[in-house]
Amino acid sequence: MEWSAAALSLRLALCSVGLLAPLGVALAWPLAFGRFRGKAALDALLLMPLVLPPTVLGFYLLELFGPRSPLGRAWAWVSGGTLLFSFSGLLAASVILNLPFFLQPLVAALGGVDRRLMEVSATLGERRARTYFRVTLPLAWRGLLSGAILAFAHAIGEFGVALMVGGNLPGRTRTLSIALFDQVQAFDLAAAQRTALALLAFAFLVLFATARLRGREPA
């Protein structure tokens, strides 16, 4: 197994979840409780990465992060480097790609919290934002955890977008699934077996953990 690729995948997944947590928690509230124009469009936009072919998303991110795009130029001005083929670019792509995996279970869990509890909180003097953090979010913790686990697992195994945005630079953007692709290309089937098995076992463990979490949800 290629340990540097494994370490990079792990780092990418952890950083993705670290950024997704505040972003997802902030976005989940209007999605679960908000009533505003364009909510359906926002819903669809945030869910797009689930159904788009990774190469399509990768292509647009390539355009968006490119050195001639406004974002690419701004990034170069701030950091002196490029977003493309760097860990930062890979991380940004991973956050966008995994947002729906984080949001879906969280929004569903928030929607399942008894509305009366939020009303009680209001009559006890707490405004909506504080009620969200004191009552709603703590009661939706399973959804928060499932979202984090799913996003983490998906970030570990991402291939298409990672390859298009990050390329294949060992130690910088070469993740475990890209390493597997390389191993197969080089007919190193023994190494490919080990990498594939590690990813398989990991995916199973993650899904098993989320299933256990769901199973414990009160009926």
Minimal distance, residue 131 CB to other proteins, in Å: 9
Nearest residue (CB) to other proteins, 73 versus 128: 128
List interacting residues with other proteins (CB under 8 A).
114, 116-117, 119-127, 134-135, 138-139
Between 114 and 188, CB nearer to other proteins: 114
Closer residue to other proteins in complex, CB, 43/126: 126
**At closest approach, how far in Å is the CB of 120 from other proteins?**
5
- Shortest CB 150 distance to other proteins, Å: 23
Least CB distance to other proteins at residue 140 (A): 10
Side-chain half-sphere of 199: how many Cα atoms within 13 Å? 25
Would you say 183 and 192 are in contact if contact means Cβ atoms under 8 Å apart?
A: yes
Which residue in 45, 34, 29, 17 sits closest to 140, CA to CA?
A: 29
CA distances from 115 to 36, 150, 171 (A): 19, 27, 48
Work out how close the CB of 134 gets to other proteins at its nearest, in angstroms, rounded to a whole number.
8
H helix or E strand, kind and range, residue 143: helix 141-157
- Residue 132 · residue 84 · CB < 8 Å: no
User: How would you class 132 by CB atoms within 10 Å of its CB: exposed for 0-12, middle for 13-18, buried for 19 or more?
Assistant: buried
Distance of CA 57 to CAs 67, 160, 175, Å? 18, 9, 18
**b/e string for 30-40 if b means 16 or more Cβ within 10 A?**
ebbbeeeeeee
For other proteins, which is the closer residue by CB, 30 or 67? 30
Nearer to other proteins, 117 or 186 (CB): 117
Which is nearer to other proteins, 54 or 112 (by Cβ)?
112
CB of 111 to other proteins, least distance (A): 17
- Let me know the angle formed at the C-alpha of 9 by 152 and 165, rounded to the nearest 5 degrees: 95
